[in-house]
Structure 1
Amino acid sequence: MKKILSTRVLVKICVLTTILLVLIIYTIWGNSALMVSMVNISSDRIASAFSNFRIAQVSDLHNAEFGESNTELIELLSEHEPDIIVITGDLIDAGHTDIEIAFDFIKQAVQIAPVYFVTGNHEANFSHYDQFKTGLEASGVTVLEDEAIQLVHNNEMITLIGLSDSDFTIKGDMFNEAPAMVNTKLNSLIDDENSYTILLSHRPELFETYVCCGVDLVLCGHAHGGQFRLPFIGGLVAPNQGLFPKYDSGLYTDEKTNMVVSRGLGNSIIPFRFNNRPEVVLVELNTE
């Protein structure tokens, strides 16, 4: 009887050890295995010249590297031949900033397509942001700080707006102050209701404000996919959204506004993610 019991205990230990090892290997792989998430956006407001226009979204890199000098990330971007690349904040990590990693990536990315950048909360909390911005612009990146520009393709246009992260100006009650501030900014920037409008903003939790302002398409990050993704449930926790965030990954639609939330690429306070592979989002525009 004792031998049978000891055998059963040994089997249980072996099974549990195997499960633990599988989870560890899966987690390690899941933090380094890049993937591309395709999102198709169709609208009769999109100018015909922008049909099949491809936007590669890079978000929340946090100084992570995928291959030496981010070779794997650059190869993935190049393979999908985007018309533009947009970076929706947190290219660096304020806690352990390595500007050279960021610039190495940028210098290669601008060789693939025009690059547009908006800040995240980590840029807002980086004491040398002005120097960082200067370096980005010197490398050929268009930094959008609460401004709108026109993208021209085959003599037709769409509007691209970039918002600076709210952490630059709000140091108190973000939940109550940010919506009004962003509403004011967007109303001053959207001056042509006939132009299809794409907004680059780090924060998905402000979706209701983007809808109220009539933005057509929003590209966001910040939520890190909820960090730990649970089957059939989704993300577990996200900055400024707390437990079981409403906007953590993928496409959300309300009225005429679409919002794409990238799960991002790197990690910050929590050093790993689970069931939540790092992603580049590839948005393709199409005319209905």
Structure 2
Amino acid sequence: MLLVVAVLVLLFGLYLYKENTSIGITFVDIKSAGIPEGFNNYRIVQLSDIHDSEFGENNLDLVNKVKDLSPDAIFITGDLIDRNRYNLKQSLEIVRQLQFVAPFYYVTGNHEISTNDVENIKTELINLGVNVLSDESLIIESLTGDKMAIGGIEDPLSSNLNEHEYVELTVDKAFEEVPEDMFKILLSHRPEQFDVYVDRGIDLILSGHAHGGQIRIPGIGGVIAPGQGWFPKYTSGVHEENESRMIVSRGLGNSLVPIRVFNQPEIIAVTLKSDSQ
């Protein structure tokens, strides 16, 4: 009996090691009449909550998987670094290796704010050509002249305001000069503020922060997430309300809790599909 238990523990340990050190790719299609035809099949790769993790030597496992997806844009939705083992040089190397693959768009997470080095982080990213979105939007244009807006907000930890109030103010600020009928994409680290994004009429939100609930129970979902507590609602997948859809990445790295269970690190590949016919 003890031998059986020992074998089972060993096999489970090997499973956890493999799951925590390999990367899965989740493919998501977003179909909407609001997506301009010029952005049909536009591919976004979302990287979230990297937390100074390494996947292969010099992060080549991660870099090569992103390259193989041939993205039109790469979004980093916060917590590129980890405040507990802060290694900016290591995390920037991912960006450095991918900077000519596709345009980068980035927003802060709570860990960047916690380092008290956030301005330096932003400067280093800007020097690598990254579009650092700080409560603002950029309007991008397709080869056919169609336009859509990509906006991003700072993590609420950067303010003394109530989180809900802060997100309301910053989303409004980010899109204040964007035409109402333009397709709007928001990068925001915090998925628990989905009601704000819906209320503001944001078409597509990409978020992270929840780490997939850290431990996932098959058929139930994540167990615990910051800002949401036990058995949180927003830890993974696509959430839809009215005309808004939010994609929540399970992220790539870990922070205080070093182990994921039934919760493989993930890259999300989003393909926009115009439904204007």
TM-score (norm 1): 0.93
Moved over 6 A (4+): none
- Alpha-carbon distance in structure 2 between the residues aligned to 1:80 and 1:218: 20
SS at match of 2:21: coil
Among 150, 153, 158, the residue aligned to 1:160? 150
Query: For structure 1, which segment, 81-90 or 126-135, has the greater mean C-alpha deviation from structure 2 after superposition?
Result: 126-135
Match of 1:108 among 71, 78, 97: 97
CA distance in 1 between partners of 2:95 and 2:172 (Å): 31
1: CA distance between counterparts of 2:159 and 2:93?
29
Residue identity opposite 1:100 in structure 2: K
Q: Identify which range, 151-160 or 181-190, moves more after superposition.
A: 181-190
Aligned counterparts of 2:117 and 2:169: Cα–Cα separation in 1: 28
Question: How do 1:3-22 residues align onto structure 2 when only pairs under 5 Å count?
Answer: 12-22=1-11
Matched, 1:144 2:160: no
Q: Partner residue of 1:117?
A: 106
Q: CA deviation at 1:273?
A: 0.6
Among 257, 265, 269, the residue aligned to 2:252 = 265
Give ranges in structure 2 of 5+ residues lacking alignment. Answer: none
Deviations 1:18-64 (A, max 9, x none): 11111101100010111110010000000000000000000000000
Q: CA RMSD in A?
A: 1.0
Counterpart pick for 1:185 among 151, 170, 182: 170
Q: In the alignment, which residue of structure 2 is the partner of 1:169?
A: 159
What letter corresponds to residue 20 of structure 1 in structure 2?
Answer: V
Segments of 5+ residues of structure 1 without an aligned counterpart are 1-11, 172-176
Determine the C-alpha separation between the residues in 1 that align with 2:244 and 2:119.
33
User: What SS is found at the alignment partner of 2:185?
Assistant: strand
Aligned to 2:19: 30
> What one-letter code is carried by the residue in structure 2 that aligns with 1:230?
I
User: How many residue pairs are counted as aligned between the two chains?
Assistant: 272
1:54 counterpart letter in structure 2? R
2:243 maps to 1:256:
yes
Identity within the alignment, %: 40
CA distance in 2 between partners of 1:239 and 1:259 (Å):
18
Larger Rg, first or second structure (1 or 2): 1
Counterpart position of 2:194:
207
| Superposition deviation, residue 274 in structure 1 | 0.7
